[in-house]
Amino acid sequence: MELHVKHLSGSKELQDAAEAAKDYAVTHGLCIKSQTGTPDSVTALPFCLIPSPFPRSVFGRLRSVQVEMNVLMHRVAHDYEFLKNCLENTITTDKFTARLFHIYEEVYRCGFPQPLSLGLFRSDYLLDVGASGLIEGEPVAKQIEINTISSSFGGLTPVLQAQQRHMLGYLGFSNLLPQIPESNSDELLARGIVAAWKAYSSERAAVMFVIEEVTYNVYDQRFIEYAIGRQCPEIRVIRRKFSELHECRLQDGKKLFIDNLEIAVVYYRTSYAPNLMTPKDWEIRLLMEMSLAIKCPSVQYHLAGTKKVQQVLAQPGVLERFFTSKVTIDEIRSFFVGLYSLDLTPEGNRAAARAIEKPNAFVLKPQREGGGNNIYGEDIKNQLVLLKNKKEREGYILMDLISPPLHHNYIVKADTHVDLVEIINEIGIFGVILGDQDDILENYEAGFILRSKKVDSKECGIAAGFGALNSILLV
């Protein structure tokens, strides 16, 4: 397919197609709030003009394994000793993780007033065509991370797919439409929230989206809200910033109330980075964790998704703590890439020395979400030299750099010229899980999203300005 579209580069046909695609995006809500205009100004999100090829066999495996990834995060989150041992060094240097862990310990000591947790996860992967990532000449997928809080773009994926289906027809490639798999991620993620609301068992209670003080990616959230309304019209959904929650309170046996409205489910679309939290916000987060409202995610789910936990899970013998099936263990482990501790130990010193010697072979990752935080290339060397023998180094992990295949596509952004560029594609598989320590009430794969970036870009965060939304053409 890439060969068929190269001739569009620089042509009037390409510019017409880009304008048609942007009009479709704005007409159907594939948008983000403008960061430069008035509060009501919107702009189309960056997107690829056409879908990108992805191996059908790998795609099927990724979707199938997601339910086990959900279970892994669930079991990690309910293993106090494991989380404590994983994070004992990290929390001495990383204040954000330490604040989360303090809340976790408070809730743990109180016996978890609300034992149910809701997870709307997204597990992200790159195809690997490096020497270690080929099986009989075919690429394999390697996991970058599991996002357990505020996983984005599940609401917009169906809109994006409809747009790219439209553009395939526009460009004369309607014969390829059967190769685009459907992702009903908005409905599937909403189904998890509805299930949590029903498990709370109070028809008067509402679902509360906790949002950033300034929210640009609002339409992604709204599409999930609208899907909740379609599935269960009696559910009231409210949106609140932390600054609007100072009067929230617990009453009637730890029920959470805001503005005299009982809250059944708290869905965080913020609280994933230090700059989003004030001291008062941390007090409110603790209050909500101590309530009977079902949190998405609970603080233990949040901690289960940290980079340090991911690194420990990749160590030999660790998955066996959580699964007895060798088939399941081998399947999950097959997606792991090399991950290394940077603790102040002989092992951590050896990993740091390897990265200083060959910085282009690794990614240096802090305990952060939201895009733009990872360190690459010579910056790894400089950072690790700076952190030599310093406790702060324990707030990072080291990951092997994955070598993904390159593709050609057109990245369309507002007010920019459209040209053919080389891109790298990152696939995210959504998953939903609802349960407590003893029982899992819901567990399923919930669709997918493809995000793309220029080959010379280090990050793939759309909201952070690094990438573009895309969809899959199965090959």
Nearest-angstrom CA–CA distance, 151 and 460: 13
Instruction: Compute the distance between CA of residue 284 and CA of residue 270 in angstroms, rounded to an integer.
Output: 13
pLDDT at residue 158 greater than cutoff 80:
yes
CB atoms near residue 231 (< 10 Å): 14
β 206-211/237-241 pair status: parallel
Mean pLDDT for 289-307 is 98
Mean pLDDT of 29-44: 86
Q: Which two tokens stand for residue 208?
A: 């509360």
354 catalytic? Reply is: no
Q: Is 374 annotated as a binding-site member?
A: yes
Phi, psi of 249, deg, nearest 5: -150, 165
Q: Which of 63, 365, 381, 393 is catalytic?
A: 365
Mean pLDDT of 325-348: 96
- What residue ranges of the chain are covered by domains with CATH 3.30.1490.50? 338-401
pLDDT band at 3 (very low <50, low <70, confident <90, very high): very low
Q: Is 378 annotated as catalytic?
A: no
Superfamily of domain 338-401: Glutathione synthase lid domain (3.30.1490.50)
Annotated catalytic residue, options 285, 308, 393, 451:
451
Residue 35 CB coordination number (10 Å): 10
**Is residue 363 over pLDDT 80?**
yes
Put the strands of the sheet holding 339-341 in their side by side order: 339-341, 396-400, 362-366, 375-376
- The catalytic position among 369, 403, 409, 431 is 369
Choosing from 370, 413, 457, 458, the catalytic residue is 370
393 is in an annotated binding site: no
370 is catalytic: yes
What does the pLDDT read at residue 34?
83
The model carries a pTM of: 0.95
| 431 is an active site residue | no
Active site (annotated) includes residue 122: yes
* pLDDT over 60 (residue 325): yes
Q: Does 261 have pLDDT greater than 60?
A: yes
Per-residue pLDDT at 372 exceeds 80: no
122 appears as a binding residue in the annotation: yes
Q: Catalytic one among 99, 122, 191, 255?
A: 122
pLDDT confidence of residue 2: 58
For the residues 114-128, what does the mean pLDDT come to? 98
Share of the chain above pLDDT 90, in %: 85
Look at 377 and 36; give whichever has higher pLDDT: 377
Active-site residue flag, 255: no
Q: Annotated binding residue at 85?
A: no
Is 147 annotated among the ligand-binding residues?
Answer: yes
Q: With beta carbons less than 8 A apart as the criterion, state whether 159 and 184 touch.
A: no
Would you state the structure tokens that stand for residue 108, as one six-digit string? Answer: 């743990």
| 345: its two tokens | 């130990």
Region 431-442 average pLDDT: 98
Residue 370 annotated as binding?
A: yes
| Averaged pLDDT of the chain | 93
451 counts as catalytic: yes
Residue 56 φ then ψ, to 5°:
-60, -40
60-64, 88-92, 372-376: least confidently modelled range: 372-376
pLDDT exceeds cutoff 50 at 360: yes
136: pLDDT strictly greater than 60 = no
What are the tens digits of pLDDT across the range 179-237? 999 999 999 999 999 999 999 999 999 999 999 999 999 999 999 999 999 999 999 99
By residue count, the chain amounts to 475
Active site includes 70? no
Residue 399 assigned to a binding site: yes
pLDDT digits (tens, 9 = 90+) for 395-405: 999 999 999 99
For 407-419, what is each residue's pLDDT tens digit? 999 999 887 788 8
Q: Which two tokens stand for residue 375?
A: 């360190």
Tell whether residue 400 is among the known ligand binding residues.
yes
Per-residue pLDDT at 9 exceeds 70: no
Distance, CA of 126 to CA of 103 (rounded, Å): 33
Cα separation of the two ends of the chain: 10
Q: In angstroms, rounded to a whole number, what is the distance separating the alpha carbons of residues 317 and 308?
A: 16
Compute the average pLDDT of residues 61-79: 99
Whether 307 is catalytic is: yes
Alpha-carbon span 453 to 440, nearest angstrom: 36
* 388 among annotated binding-site residues: no
